[in-house]
Amino acid sequence: MGDDVQLSCGPGSPRKHTLELDTTTEINTKKLKVEYENDSDCKDRSDDSDDGQREDEAMPDTDQSINSSDAVPKLDPLSYTKTNEFTSEIFKIQIYNLPTFGFSDLKKRLKSTLGLNPHKIKHISNTLVTYVCFRNEADRDKALRRVNGHRWKGKVLEAKIAAPMADPYLQKRLQAQEAKSSQQTDSAPSIESLTPEEAEARLKANICPLWNTDYFQQLQIKEEKMKTVLEGISKHDFIKHLFEDRSKKKDMCELLSIIPSPVITEYRNKNEFSIGFGLDGKTKMVGFRYGLYKDGCTAIGDCTNLGIAMPAAIPVVKSFTEFIRKSKWEPYVQHSGTGHWHTLTVRTYLTGDVMAMVDFQPRSLDEEEIEAAQYSLKEFYTQGEGRDVSITSLYFRVLGGKGIRDQTKLQHLCGQTHVHESLMQLKFRISAEAFFQVNTPATEKLYELIAEWANVSPSTTVLDICCGTGTIGLSLANKVMSVIGIEMSYPAILDAKANARINGITNAVFHCAKVEDIINKTVNSLSSPQYQDVVAIVDPPRAGLHKDVIKCLRRCEAIQYLIYVSCNPASAKNNFVDLLRPETGRHKGLPFIMDKVRPVDLFPGTKHCELVVLFKREETTAITNNPEVMAREDTATDSTQGVPESAAVLPGEPNLSL
């Protein structure tokens, strides 16, 4: 169905993500970085993944399940290992006595050197503790035999069978029950015992932690947070030396004042609403959770008065709430593995377009029953009580495992296939799964800053890395010679190409690939004489860029300016450090310097903001030839050491972090 078809349907009608887990049975309070070995089936969780799901797009936790302990007949934190659902947690080993390593080195060691087939690798940050899970007992036992006694970097490795991780929700509920039975009085009150006013305040605190803070103070908090990140970078030995020689100043560069959002309420154009039960454990609800799954909270609260979503989303939530309350299919409950309605995603834009996407967990339903559920949804919004709700695009998605999202199973039911937004005097097409900044008015402020700092001319080529739907590059296209966009999401690239056509832009090309797979070829093409003025603009997911991409950007002499837009500067600081490193055999190309840094607030009410950094190429080699600095650099460990380059979630794996 084409883009111009309205919602009037009749009744007949590889990306990896990072997932953090809290280990309760193995090592309390430690954060795990997890890598799964299958790119094609990944779980897009809005609170922990990164598009990965991006920090600038992410809503607080959106998992669903009952919150009443009365609904759990037996609190067994390991109950998920005793069902027919697949989990690799029961085929897990722990590896000891590891040397200092990079995550990719460990992965290569296990797969290539030892000939193993790991299903997921879990490394505890800032430690040498590593867990590896396998698909079956035979693969696990093979790993035990081959890892034990294996020598790596002078270390003799040891391995043993490891216990499965406890479900954090059930673990927390069990602890609460035990505390209650032992009459402990110093524990925090349960969510069920709160008054309606207290519960509303709890919900606001979970979704918008700064909801009750004056906006000027919010901006100060975010500026201080960014200042802390920059101070952490400037303390690095070789960077400190670099800037002391350059300017004799302690600070790397001035942190400019944060740019406020033009709107501070009702600004989010994309929201993922959880489907589950209210505080009583019985009332079906569509909204946001009061807390995290790992903290023992799964109750869903009313989102209609929070003031964060654009107003057009609220009628969709209210109508869908009425729909599920009358539906024969129940909301999905994670810890018990029951129910079906999983998530409602609503995208609303200033053009008036509204897209609704409903995720459905089939469990044991056959195709006929799934089609019946799908038909009931379509009928409700085309002929039933929801027909008057302004939805211009409706999608239905069948999930796999315990919530695995698969784009191939995203089915368009009615209306337009895409929604559209106006930004920087251009019109942008947005597909159901494409990334688009959640605060359009503030995004204009962000792009205006990028345009100012890029300082482009008719001879400039813009290299738009992680370009998404092409918004940044296309907003600059009429001022430059050419735009080259790179993005790994195929639907987003289709949008980018369509957006160039829609806006009559002919000097932009877009490539669908992982940046690290294509950056070498792209950078080499920029070495020809016609590309003398190249500005690289980087807007990656929260984990930042692959280290090989940074190395390629450094080697490209044509790139004299690089603008880095980070939605999570704490994660991107390794990229910053690698851009600033002195030139050595391992890091070729003149280093960049930080010229300007400025936060932009796209997320009022939260602690997050975007950080825009302007890097300029260092013009002198005096510092890079300093033997002392080079010696330190050559002996330093890689800044990405011990951190997975990427991660994803495979079908059937319980997401125990939510």
Mean pLDDT check: name the lowest of 38-47, 66-75, 366-375.
38-47
Strand-by-strand arrangement of the 393-398 sheet: 300-302, 284-289, 270-277, 341-348, 354-360, 393-398, 410-415
pLDDT of residue 179: 60
pLDDT per residue over 388-427, tens digit each? 999 999 999 999 765 566 655 789 999 999 999 999 999 9
Over residues 430-450, the mean pLDDT reads 97
d(CA 476, CA 501): 15
79 burial type by CB count under 10 A (0-12 exposed, 13-18 middle, 19+ buried): middle
Q: Is the model's pLDDT at 76 over the cut of 80?
A: no
Give the side-chain half-sphere CA count within 13 A for 248: 0
What pLDDT does residue 565 have? 97
Sequence-ordered alpha helix ranges (H) in 346-399: 367-382
In the predicted model, what is the mean pLDDT of residues 588-611? Answer: 94
Query: What mean pLDDT do residues 154-183 have?
Result: 74
Confidence of residue 33 (pLDDT cuts 50, 70, 90): very low
Q: Are strands 151-152 and 155-156 parallel, antiparallel or unpaired?
A: antiparallel
Note the pLDDT tens digit of each residue in 475-533.
999 999 999 999 999 999 999 999 999 999 999 999 999 888 888 888 888 877 778 78
At residue 182 the predicted structure's pLDDT band, cuts being 50, 70 and 90, is low
- Of 518 and 82, the structure prediction assigns the larger pLDDT to 518
Mean pLDDT of the chain: 79
How large a percentage of the chain has pLDDT more than 70?
A: 73
Least reliable range by pLDDT among 153-157, 238-242, 364-368, 540-544: 238-242
Provide the total of helices (H) and of strands (E) in the chain, helices listed first: 15, 24
CATH of domain 442-620: 3.40.50.150
Residue of higher predicted confidence among 520 and 614: 614
| pLDDT tens digits for range 140-166 | 999 999 999 999 999 999 999 988 887
In the structure encoding, which two tokens stand for residue 634, read together?
A: 């050559």
Question: Confidence band (pLDDT; 50, 70, 90) for 267?
Answer: very high
Higher pLDDT, 247 or 569: 569
Mean per-residue pLDDT, 558-585: 89
Structure tokens at 575: 């990229």
Residue 235, pLDDT above cutoff 70: yes
Structure confidence by residue, pLDDT tens digits, 252-266 = 577 899 999 999 999
Backbone angle region of 310, left / alpha / beta, with phi > 0 → left and psi within -120 to 50 → alpha: beta
Alpha-carbon gap, residue 551 to 520, rounded angstroms = 10
Between these two residues, 35 and 347, which has the higher pLDDT value?
Answer: 347
Question: pLDDT digit string (tens) for 287-345?
Answer: 998 876 666 677 899 988 899 999 999 999 999 999 999 999 999 987 777 899 999 99
Could you tell me the pLDDT band of residue 243, with boundaries at 50, 70 and 90? low
**3-state secondary structure (DSSP) of residue 57:** coil
Helix %, strand %, coil % for the chain, to 5? Answer: 30, 20, 45
pLDDT of residue 472: 98
* High-pLDDT (> 90) share of the chain, %: 50
Encoded amino acid at 136, one letter: N
State the pTM of this model: 0.72
Residue 168: in which H helix or E strand, if any?
A: helix 168-181
Which comes out higher in pLDDT, residue 20 or 156?
156
Residue 14 or 537, more confident: 537
Q: What is the CATH number of domain 270-421?
A: 2.40.50.1070
- For the stretch 616-626, pLDDT in tens is 987 643 334 44
Question: What angle, rounded to 10 degrees, do the helices at 547-555 and 515-525 form?
Answer: 0
Cα(563)–Cα(407) distance, integer angstroms = 31
Tell me if 346 sits within 8 A of 354, measured CB to CB: yes
Higher pLDDT, 648 or 83: 83
What is the 8-class DSSP label of residue 46?
T
Can you tell me whether residue 222 is helix, strand or coil? helix
Mean pLDDT of 552-560: 89
| C-alpha–C-alpha distance, residues 277 and 72, integer Å | 14
Residue 69 confidence class, pLDDT cut points 50, 70, 90: very low
Q: Which amino acid is at 542?
A: R
Look at residue 638 in the predicted model and tell me its pLDDT.
39
Return the higher-pLDDT residue of 308 and 658.
Answer: 308
Rounded Cα gap, residues 477 and 436, in angstroms: 18
159 backbone φψ class: left, alpha, beta (φ>0; ψ -120 to 50): beta
pLDDT for 196: 79
Cβ burial, residue 3 (10 Å; 0-12/13-18/19+): middle
Q: Please give the annotated binding residues, written as ranges.
A: 437, 487, 539
Which pLDDT score, from 0 to 100, does residue 426 have? 98
- pLDDT of residue 435 exceeding 70: yes
- Rounded CA-CA distance 540/571 in Å is 11
CATH architecture of 19-161: 2-Layer Sandwich (3.30)
Residue 483 or 244, more confident:
483
Give the residue with greater pLDDT, 123 vs 132: 132
Q: Do 19-161 and 270-421 share a fold? A: no
Select from 486, 637, 515 the least CA-distant residue to 16: 515
The answer to whether 567 is a known catalytic residue is yes
| Most confident residue range from 338-347, 527-536, 564-573 | 338-347
Domain boundaries, the chain: 19-161, 270-421, 442-620
* pLDDT, position 338: 86
Q: So what's the pLDDT on residue 169?
A: 63
User: Edge to edge, what strands does the sheet with 92-96 contain?
Assistant: 19-22, 31-36, 120-124, 130-133, 92-96, 158-161
pLDDT of residue 74: 56
Query: 180 falls in which pLDDT band (50, 70, 90)?
Result: low
pLDDT of 61 over the 70 cut? no
Is residue 12's pLDDT more than 70? no
> What's the rounded Cα separation, in Å, for the pair 461 and 477?
9
Average pLDDT over residues 533-538: 94
Neighbours of 38 (CB within 10 A): 14
Task: Provide the 3-class DSSP secondary structure of residue 617.
Answer: strand
The binding site for S-adenosyl-L-methionine comprises 437, 487, 539
Q: What is the pLDDT of residue 77?
A: 67
Among 175-189, 547-561, 627-641, which is the least confidently predicted range? Answer: 627-641
